[in-house]
Structure formats: C-alpha cells, structure tokens
Amino acid sequence: MQRNHANALLRAFALYLLWVGATYLLEGMQGTLVRPEAIGLRLAYAVVANLALGILLPLWLIRAALRDGVGSPADFGSSGPVRAAIGVAAGGFAGYALFAFSASGDVPSLAVVNAFAQVWVVSVAEIVVCWALVGASVRIALRSWSRAGSVLTAAAVASVLFGVYHFAHSPPFNQFGMVVFLTGIGFATSIWWFASRELYGTAVFHNFFGVTGVLAALKAAGQVPAQPQLGVPVLVTAGVVTVALAWAAIVWVRPARL
C-alpha cells in the first residue's frame, strides 16, 4: 500500500472515531433523541456531530486525499451534475418503493415529508463518513486486489462501521440486536453505493430506511397524526444541510485535483 493511501486511510478511521465519540457525548450519553425538550442538545448534536464532523470535515479530508493523489472525485462519489441528478432520481424511486411496500408505508404524505427531513441530516453524515470517506478509502487502498475483493472488503468495512456506530446512540439503537439489524441495512446501502458510486443518490436511498424506522416507531406508539402539519423547522434544517453538502462537494471535491 502506498504511503499516501495509508495516510488517507488512517485519517478516515480517525475521523470515524471522532464522529462516533461526538455522537455518544451529544446523543447517546444524554439520551437526546428521546428527550423532545432537549432543544439545545438536539441543535448541538445536529451541528457538531453531524454537520461539522459528519459532513464538512470528512469532505475536507477527501479533498486532502485527492490533493495527495489518492483516487479521483468519482471514487468518492462526485461525478458531476448529470450523474448526480440521475442518482437522486434513481435513489428516490428505489428508496420510496421499499418504503411504500413496508409496514410504515400507509401514512399521510406530509408525515413522510416531515420524517424524511427529520432524519436527513443524520443520514447524510452516515453516508459521507461510512461510505464516501471510509468505504471509498478502503477500496482505493486495496486496488492491487481483484475488483471483487476490494469492493467486498470495503462494503463489509463500511457496513460494519455503520452498525457499530449505533452503539453511540440512545436506546433502542444501541442494543446489540438492533446494531446487527442496522449492519444488514448497511450492506443494502453498500450495494447501492458501490454500484452507483454517487453520493447524493445514495444519501436519498439510505434516508428512506430512516424514514421507515421513524414512522414505524410512531405508528407503534399511535403518534402519527391524521392531519399532520408541514414541519418547517426540520425542513429548514434539511435545506441547510443539503446546501452545505453540495457546497463542500463542489468546492472541495470536484476541483481538488486541478
């Protein structure tokens, strides 16, 4: 393995550990997601653990890897606007189809929109850290192997790290059975990522797994409103995260090797 590849891989795993640690301190240890009144902690969790450490810093590390000659923008999921648009459309279609056939699918449309916006910031961070940074770095580092061997190993690493990351969350996500189940979800996302190698579409596809889980929990608790209102705060948050993701990917990743 070349030295630059090894350094990029080391930075990727270090960032993963930092992200997991921040998630535990701001969410798991505090039980933030099961405390609706903890507005300040929720904001800190979203901004620090997800936006800063889960999206912006890993994309900056991808920029550093590209400048060191490690891979190409396409290896890290950035292949231009046309492929991104196709990826988002395909990811949205496939993700919604899976959601619609699930037990959570029979809910008001506005509830789906609100749930999608609510989990978007976490889903984007998960894709950027586990797949765009760590998964891609592992695959690039193992390019001397066969294509199948490098992809399968990278997919396994990304999926397992995604599952293990949930030990840093509050119950029920930190329970062993749930972590095993989420690792399986990670493998489904790995198939999409390594087949498409497209960041935005993978995030949309993956986010529907979160939507399914959130709405299933709300349905079980009888908390899905019959006539939901549009959740403006979560939509604004999702919009900010999307703009930050697009800005960092365009400014840092696309031209990094010019």
Q: Is the Cβ–Cβ distance between 55 and 248 less than 8 Å?
A: yes
Nearest alpha-carbon partner for 234 in 122, 99, 129: 122
Interatomic CA distance for residues 199 and 183, integer angstroms: 19
The three-point CA angle 57-142-198 to 5° equals 50
- Provide the whole-model pTM: 0.95
DSSP code per residue over 4-21: HHHHHHHHHHHHHHHHHH
Q: Where are the domains of the chain?
A: 3-253
pLDDT tens for the 258 residues of the chain, in order: 688 999 999 999 999 999 999 999 999 999 887 777 778 888 999 999 999 999 999 999 999 999 999 999 999 999 889 999 999 999 999 999 999 998 776 888 899 999 999 999 999 999 999 999 999 999 999 999 999 999 999 999 999 999 999 999 998 899 999 999 999 999 999 999 999 999 999 999 999 999 998 888 878 777 777 778 888 989 999 999 999 999 999 999 976 443
